Amino acid sequence: MPLHDVGYRSWTGVRRPPGSAAVVIASTGIALAWKSRWLRRAVLFAWSPALAFAMSFFAFEQAVEEGRLGMLEATAQAGRNLDGVGVLGGLLANSLGRPSEGQPTSMPGSLEEVEQTRRTVWSRLLLAFMRAPQAVLLAVVIGLVAPTLISRDMRAKAWLVYFTRPVSRRDYIMGKAAVLAGVVAMVTLLPALGLWLVGVLVSPSVDVAWATVDLPAKVVVASLAVALPTVLLALAFSAITTESRIAGFAWFATWVACWISHSALGAAELMADQPPPEAGSFFDEPFGGLEAEDRHSRPRPMHWLARAAGLDNSIDHWAWVSPYHSIGVVQAAIFGMEQRPQAYLPPLLSLTFISVASLVVLVRRVDAPMRS
């Protein structure tokens, strides 16, 4: 009876370079996640705040083109309301009425003064956009995607398939992290870059792109400041359990509990430092040195929006307690709105600790099936 060669046949296809496994894992994960209707709706909803900020970019550039910038600055500095500057008129009023600290001054109405004011307004709008609506929406979107990325593999014992092939632990972690990084880019990076592009397109000259060329780079760095701690923390929660519901609960519980703790500690500090109110002091010093009638007529933006745009000069001593507030302070430092080390170093150290601790947990948990 003849014997046939039943051995393994040599591979005749194209060999992919090392590290391509992470790309395959990432592309497959993004394709599977994008099938969720809730995720598509959440990403679409995350782009909706960009419309309001785009209107403010357009209104500001129209005022510059029509030569009304000096009038708007005088109106803002007098504490009166601004007309025709978009839905974020209060934010623009405070940006025009109070420039950044350390910013050089120029002759009123000069080209340098216009460019200086444009950079201040654009930076504050981009910072407020990335801090206020996008960071909150990002927490929701990551909570929809991250819990199942690793926990489902561990429950189904998919690591028996992954690690019997030439897939390293590094490729696996990088592939899963790339899935969440893509989600972060869709929610924070791409809309912010789109806002900058809208500002360039509605400007009087395309030379504005060269004058503000550093802002897209700051947007990229600010997005990385969001992505690194959030992605690693979410993957660590997904790796410590086989139940995606528990991972999702841990993610949202951590986010909410840290926010509440920050608010409680901040309120306690404010009550301890604030002297007893005197008669008629409710409107005292909200914007520093304005007359009484101007305090009543000046548009007072919500405190969270003023802080998000870097208009609140007070130091948040408890920002390091909450990942959301820590990310906001670090982003303000990236955009140059916060230059005091005592303000941004504690949040930066807090985010670094979260990232390193999450990475250690993630590596240990992914490696656990092979060691058991």
Could you report the per-residue pLDDT of 26-75, keeping only the tens digit for each?
888 888 888 888 888 888 888 888 888 888 888 778 777 776 666 666 65
Is 194 or 116 the better-scoring residue by pLDDT? 194
CA–CA dist 323, 230 (Å, integer): 8
pLDDT-derived band at 298 (thresholds 50, 70, 90) equals very low
Could you report the per-residue pLDDT of 96-154, keeping only the tens digit for each?
545 444 444 444 455 677 777 788 888 888 888 888 888 888 888 898 899 888 888 88
CA–CA dist 305, 302 (Å, integer): 5
Q: Return the pLDDT at 95.
A: 60
Q: What percent of the chain has pLDDT over 90?
A: 27
pLDDT of residue 198 exceeding 80: yes
CA distances from 166 to 160, 196, 346, 367 (A): 12, 42, 41, 15
pLDDT of residue 260 exceeding 90: yes
Is 238 or 69 the better-scoring residue by pLDDT? 238
Do 262 and 323 meet the contact criterion of CB atoms below 8 Å apart?
Answer: no
- Return the residue matching tokens 């959440």: 42
Flag the least confident range among 11-15, 29-33, 279-283: 279-283
What pTM was estimated for this model as a whole?
A: 0.79
CA–CA dist 75, 72 (Å, integer): 5
pLDDT of residue 80 exceeding 60: no
Mean pLDDT of the chain: 78
Q: How far apart are the first and last CA of the chain?
A: 45
Task: For residues 271-292, give the mean pLDDT.
Answer: 51
CA–CA dist 25, 169 (Å, integer): 12
Q: Return the pLDDT at 28.
A: 86
Task: For residues 208-227, give the mean pLDDT.
Answer: 90
Residue 9, classed as helix, strand or coil, is coil
Where do the domains of the chain lie? Answer: 20-272+295-371
Give me the DSSP letters along 273-327.
HSPPP-TT-TTSSSSSS--HHHHHHS----HHHHHHTT---S--TTGGG-HHHHH
